[in-house]
Amino acid sequence: MCQDCGCSAGSGRKIIEVQKNVLASNTSRARANREILEEHGILGMNLMSSPGSGKTLLLEKTIARLRDRLSVGVIEGDLETDRDAERIRSTGVPVHQIVTGQTCHLDAFMLQGALHHFPLEALDLLFVENVGNLVCPATYELGTHRNVVLLSTTEGDDKPAKYPIAFKHADVMLITKMDQLPHTDFDTDRAMRDARVIRPSLEVIQLSARSGDGLSEWLDYIERAVQQLRG
Ligand SMILES: Nc1nc2c(ncn2[C@@H]2O[C@H](COP(=O)(O)OP(=O)(O)O)[C@@H](O)[C@H]2O)c(=O)[nH]1
Ligand SMILES: [Mg+2]
């Protein structure tokens, strides 16, 4: 059972009440986080996916291509280790690792704590790499402006139908590892169709962080979102 969010906690009115209170206080902290980001003109992007679908590699490639134009910071969330933070640190941008232990997602209070580690006045864009998991992260708002869900061609096109919650809360779906498509039975049309049943307005970008294909569309999406925030 998930120790923290009680996602399989089962029955009991008391448990439901506690859960509701936890989510309500998280939502209000998320609102406050968003205000902090907006006071500093920072766009927050929350990346969610299964473990291994390519979040960290995509961030490394994105930072390399964006850093001349935008000042980027990254928050990394993992159950254990600061390995992803080390990978991001080698790109030269500020990064802070949150180690969640047994907790299967980040929450707004963790984000609040992490914000203190950044020179907020200098940032344009803050990426949050959430804990690898297609269920819990979607339940906990952080206060970021865009939810990005990654679905890799190697994990199967049935995930939007099987794990709808992550897609329901997403603004954009990135179909990653497109270079691997010929070696899989992944059906991009099926994945998009299923995801849009859950979230009709979902934008979709197909890309490969490895080959670089589709990255320019993703970079345009980010720059448009930054412009929209600035208004
Ligand atoms: N072939 C291929 N491999 C990728 C791509 N993106 C990531 N990977 C590999 O997939 C594995 C997991 O990537 P990682 O970025 O750590 O995933 P994360 O757990 O979501 O952060 C690593 O071995 C990456 O090199 C891609 O576009 N194509
Ligand atoms: Mg990672």
Tens digits of residue pLDDT in 130-140: 999 999 999 99
Spell out the alpha helix ranges (H) of 101-186.
108-115, 159-162, 164-168
Tokens of 73: 């910071």
How confident is the model over 153-170, as a mean pLDDT? Answer: 97
The pTM is what? 0.94
For ligand 1, mutation pick of 57, 58, 59, 83 (most atoms within 8 Å of CB): 57
How confident is the model over 191-211, as a mean pLDDT? Answer: 98
* Strand, helix or coil for residue 176: strand
- What pLDDT score does 1 carry? 40
What is the number of the ligand 1 atom nearest to the C-alpha of 50? 20
Q: Which residues have beta carbons under 5 A from ligand 2 (an ion)?
A: 55-56, 84
* Strand, helix or coil for residue 169: coil
- What pLDDT score does 30 carry? 98
Q: What is the pLDDT of residues 55-111, one digit of tens each?
A: 999 999 999 999 999 999 999 999 999 999 999 999 999 999 999 999 999 999 999
Instruction: For the chain, list the domains and their CATH numbers.
Output: 13-230 (3.40.50.300)
- CA of residue 58 to ligand 1 center, whole Å: 8
CA atoms of 128 and 122, how far apart (whole Å): 17
Q: Which residues, in sequence order, are bridge partners of residue 173?
A: 149, 204
Contacts of residue 94, defined as CB under 8 A and 6 or more positions apart, other chains included, come to 73, 74, 117, 118, 119, 123
- What pLDDT score does 13 carry? 80
Closest ligand to Cα 209: 1
